[in-house]
Amino acid sequence: MSRIGKKPIDIPSGVEVKVDGNVVTAKGSKGTESVTFRNEVKVSVKDNQVIVELNSDDRKANALHGLYRTLIANAITGVSKGFERKLEIVGVGYRAAMEGKNLNMALGYSHPVIVEAPEGISFAVEANTKITVSGSNKQAVGDIAAIIRGKRPPEVYKGKGVKYEGEYIRRKAGKAGKK
């Protein structure tokens, strides 16, 4: 049995969790998230906790036990607190600005780079170089942050580009030159 899968998930106040067949739906102040699980696991709500149990003892069910417990826990956390990912822009002339709901970035190309905010995701820009991606779905927030970083990944010589907050960029020495 999975050590993570055995732990019950506490439901915070203000969050409503329903199990309907093979779908767990969490509704809170930040929105609604649903997780579809397979028949190898059984999900129930008891005493303000969500409990994920195994239906069978095969290896596949054991592998899915911890996975579905974590996915349900992330859905509950997402609708109560939400998730956010912070990015930093490094480089002369590199900057970001909000354009309605969309993110408009100048990243050294001949054209502006515009990233549209999908449903449930919001952007915030502070000081033209710090971007915050937030939403209730952890996977969607991480995906959009990775897409933004992929528009101009940090390069290894000067460290210019879009990087995650706190990310360490290993630098190269560059040319030695003549003496």
Write out pLDDT tens, residues 37-92: 988 888 889 888 999 888 888 888 888 888 999 999 999 999 999 999 999 999 99
Q: What is the pLDDT of residue 79?
A: 92
CB-CB contact of 30 with 141 (8 Å) = no
Give, in words, the CATH class of 83-164. Answer: alpha beta
Domain boundary assignment for the chain: 3-80, 83-164
* Percent of all residues in the chain with a pLDDT value above 70, rounded to a whole number: 98
Token pair recorded at residue 96: 């970001």
Token pair recorded at residue 88: 């930093």
User: What single-letter amino acid sits at 148?
Assistant: I
Q: What is the pLDDT of residue 62?
A: 85
Q: What is the pLDDT of residue 173?
A: 87
In angstroms, the Cα distances linking 178 to 4, 100, 174, 175 are 58, 51, 13, 9
Instruction: Please list the residues that pair with 119 across neighbouring strands.
Output: none
DSSP-assigned states of every residue in 94-142:
-EEEEETTEEEEE-SSSS-EEEPPPTTEEEEEETTTEEEEEES-HHHHH
Whole-angstrom distance, CA of residue 17 vs CA of residue 76: 8
Non-local CB neighbours of 84 within 8 Å, separated by 6+ positions: 132, 133, 134, 135, 141
Per-residue confidence band for 95, with pLDDT thresholds at 50, 70 and 90: very high
Whole-angstrom distance, CA of residue 28 vs CA of residue 13: 9
Domains 3-80 and 83-164 share a fold: yes
Of 171, 175, 145, the C-alpha closest to 160 is 171
The more confident residue out of 147 and 58 is 147
Q: What's the fold here for domain 3-80?
A: Outer Surface Protein A; domain 3 (3.90.930)
Per-residue confidence band for 96, with pLDDT thresholds at 50, 70 and 90: very high
pLDDT at 175 over 90: no
Q: What is the pTM of this model?
A: 0.85
Give the number of residues written for the chain: 179
Hey, CA dihedral for 73, 83, 165, 94, is it positive or negative? positive
